[in-house]
């Protein structure tokens, strides 16, 4: 597998330290608000990478953190009049729900920065002892960039020249060097109000953001991680600073590969709250958009290329996903036909008319799909192979001779393998492929719950909700009544 490594700025053959335990760390959401669709472009790429590594036979430890203490979470909690954990808790829950909605594989953990404070304090002590950090007069501790010769190797920024320039530009003299950054921030009054203060040898305070990720990576995955991934905005200074701290502390390479996902645009513009183009997954789903279509749009472009999110792209994606499901059903239903025909004694004739061609082409399309994904997750090329399979399959099914059972099996197997990487078809089938019987039974239970609620029989209503949940049905109470959706295949 080749991946583009942002540190070496080239495609490189990916060689994990241990192929049966590939370690990946992705910078996760800052949980001061709902993650938006732009964040989810990056997170969908994490999931794609995770799935593809697994499909290629690796054991994978994939850690995505929650940044639950930083300026934004503290300011958000203070503005809402809540404690830090009261403020971040619901956004953590919301992220996990959205991740489920978009069909993410469960990761190997979602550490919260606040769970690692003792390890962070210890890490700062190591940097102080090694002479890579210094204490400021106010009880903060700063990393001393000048002590790390490789500073700037990831981004090409932040060299001495930049330091001199920014000193002139900003007139900043509080730090020994303007490039230095806080490892530990002395407590401010707002931190105290929301409970974001911890003891340390340097007095009460809280960790700096860059430090948080380094410590979670090294605590959970070791000194060297195989792949570190994040959105492109994190390359500098966040990841540059992570390298500086981690390599100075451990003396080892921090990440073998660095991957960065290009930012999503919405209607050709940068996403921002003020432009009103700030969508969340839950809003889109509430507006009736299909999760599988949202996922399809987010993964359809190569992760280092421009991607523009529009409603027409969503409509096209909805159609594309439906074509895939229709194709899969057509092949599957034909399979049932084969069995019936075999039972009726027609197997010899059917076997005779199959040239086995489609079987071979299915294998070729799957090989091309994998080769594309192995080349830096080239989804557009991989999707061309998927559509090639659909085209060849439909053509063979339309032909007067039809296709053999072996052909059908090969096509279904190739589709299933491709979907293990893409995670779209099974996700779509959850909500679109509910048979009438199941749908009627769910609807009856939802209505029974509504009736119980009307007469304030909350015990029954809660029991019905729990029962539906256990069958993979999620309820949403809207002003227009209760809506339901399947978040897992029924009964699984
Ligand atoms: P944040 O919640 O701001 O810490 O961001 C979480 C992740 O989303 C980070 O990896 C960011 O780089 C990424 N991200 C933020 N905005 C966008 C965007 N518009 N498109 C793609 N990724 C983004
Ligand atoms: Zn990070």
Sequential DSSP letters for 53-69:
HHHTT--EEEEE-BB-S
Q: Quick: pLDDT tens for 14-64.
A: 999 999 999 999 999 999 999 999 999 999 999 999 999 999 999 999 999
The average confidence (pLDDT) of the chain is: 91
Q: How do strand 264-266 and strand 269-270 relate by DSSP bridges? A: antiparallel
Ligand of minimum distance to the alpha carbon of 254: 2
Phi, psi at 302, each rounded to 5°: -65, 145
Is the CB of 114 inside a 6 Å radius of any atom of ligand 1? Answer: no
**pLDDT computed for residue 343 by the predictor:** 58
Q: Output the CA torsion sign for 149, 161, 209, 238.
A: negative
What is the value of pTM for the model shown? 0.87
Nearest ligand 1 atom to the CA of 233 is 12
Q: Report the first-to-last Cα separation within the chain, whole angstroms.
A: 33
pLDDT confidence bin for 474, thresholds 50/70/90 = confident
Phi, psi at 137, each rounded to 5°: -60, -25
Distance CA 242, CA 214 (A): 6
- Provide the greatest CA pair distance for the chain: 90
Cα Rg, the chain, nearest whole Å:
26
Contact 218, 127 (CB under 8 A): no
Lowest pLDDT segment from 123-132, 173-182, 249-258, 323-332? 173-182
Is the CB of 38 inside a 6 Å radius of any atom of ligand 1? Answer: yes
Residue nearest to atom 23 of ligand 1 (CA): 39
Tell me if residue 133 falls in helix, strand or coil.
strand
Residue that wins the pLDDT comparison between 390 and 481: 390
Lowest pLDDT segment from 158-162, 169-173, 308-312, 398-402? 169-173
Q: Which of 264, 266, 219, 257 is nearest to 239 (CA)?
A: 257
Distance CA 92, CA 90 (A): 5
Nearest ligand 1 atom to the CA of 39 is 8
Helices (H) and strands (E) in the chain, counts: 18, 15
Q: In what order do the strands lie in the sheet with 141-143?
A: 133-135, 141-143, 181-186, 205-207
Q: Which of 33, 34, 38 to mutate to test the pocket of ligand 1 (most atoms within 8 A of CB)?
A: 38
- Report CA(154)–ligand 2 centroid distance (Å): 14
- Report CA(132)–ligand 2 centroid distance (Å): 20
Cross-strand bridge partners of residue 475: 484
Residue nearest to atom 9 of ligand 1 (CA): 231
Q: Quick: pLDDT tens for 388-436.
A: 999 999 999 999 888 999 999 999 999 999 999 999 999 998 876 667 7
- Report CA(39)–ligand 1 centroid distance (Å): 4
User: How many beta carbons lie within 10 A of that of residue 402, not counting itself?
Assistant: 17
- Report CA(260)–ligand 1 centroid distance (Å): 10
Cross-strand bridge partners of residue 225: 255
**pLDDT computed for residue 349 by the predictor:** 44
pLDDT confidence bin for 169, thresholds 50/70/90 = very low
Residue 192 has pLDDT above 90, yes or no: yes
């Amino acid at each position: 597998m080749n991946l583009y490594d942002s540190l070496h700025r080239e495609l490189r053959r990916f060689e994990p330290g241990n192929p049966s335990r590939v370690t990946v760390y992705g910078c996760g959401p800052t949980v001061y608000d709902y993650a938006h669709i732009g964040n989810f472009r990056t997170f969908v790429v994490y999931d794609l990478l995770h799935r593809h590594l697994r499909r290629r036979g690796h054991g994978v430890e994939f850690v995505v953190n929650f940044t639950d203490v930083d300026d934004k979470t503290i300011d958000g909690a203070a503005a809402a009049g809540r404690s830090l954990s009261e403020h971040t808790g619901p956004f953590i829950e919301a992220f996990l729900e959205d991740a489920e909605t978009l069909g993410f594989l469960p990761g190997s953990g979602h550490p919260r920065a606040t769970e690692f404070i003792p390890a962070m304090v210890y890490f700062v002590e190591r940097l102080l002892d090694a002479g890579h950090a210094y204490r400021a007069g106010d009880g903060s501790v700063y990393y001393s960039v000048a002590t790390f010769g490789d500073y700037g190797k990831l981004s090409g920024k932040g060299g001495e020249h930049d330091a001199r320039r920014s000193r002139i530009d900003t007139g900043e003299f509080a730090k020994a060097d303007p490039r230095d950054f806080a490892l530990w921030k002395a407590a401010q009054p707002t931190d105290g109000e929301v409970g974001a203060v911890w003891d340390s040898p340097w007095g009460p305070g809280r960790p700096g953001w860059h430090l948080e990720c380094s410590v979670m990576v090294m605590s959970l995955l070791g000194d060297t991680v195989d792949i570190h991934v994040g959105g492109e905005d994190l390359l500098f200074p966040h990841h540059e600073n992570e390298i500086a701290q981690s390599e100075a502390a451990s003396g080892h390479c921090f990440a073998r590969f660095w991957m960065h996902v290009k930012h999503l645009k919405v209607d050709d513009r940068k996403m921002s709250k003020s432009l009103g183009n700030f969508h969340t997954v839950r809003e889109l789903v509430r507006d009736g958009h299909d999760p599988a279509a949202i996922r399809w749009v987010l993964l359809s472009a190569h992760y280092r290329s421009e991607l523009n999110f529009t409603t027409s792209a969503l409509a096209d994606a909805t159609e594309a996903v439906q074509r895939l499901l229709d194709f899969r059903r057509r092949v599957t239903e034909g399979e049932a036909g084969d069995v019936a025909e075999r039972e009726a004694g027609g197997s010899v004739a059917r076997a005779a008319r199959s040239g086995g061609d489609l079987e071979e082409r299915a294998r070729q399309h799957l090989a091309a799909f994998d080769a594309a994904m192995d080349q830096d997750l080239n989804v557009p090329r991989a999707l061309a192979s998927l559509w090639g399979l659909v085209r060849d399959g439909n053509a063979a099914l339309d032909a007067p001779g039809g296709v053999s059972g072996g052909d059908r099996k090969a096509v279904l197997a190739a589709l299933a393998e491709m979907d293990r990487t893409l995670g779209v078809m099974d996700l779509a089938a959850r909500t679109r492929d509910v048979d009438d019987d199941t749908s009627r039974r769910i609807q009856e239970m939802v209505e029974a719950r509504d009736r119980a609620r009307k007469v304030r029989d909350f015990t029954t209503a809660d029991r019905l909700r729990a029962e539906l949940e256990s069958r993979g049905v999620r309820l949403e109470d809207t002003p227009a009544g209760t809506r339901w959706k399947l978040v897992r295949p029924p009964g699984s």
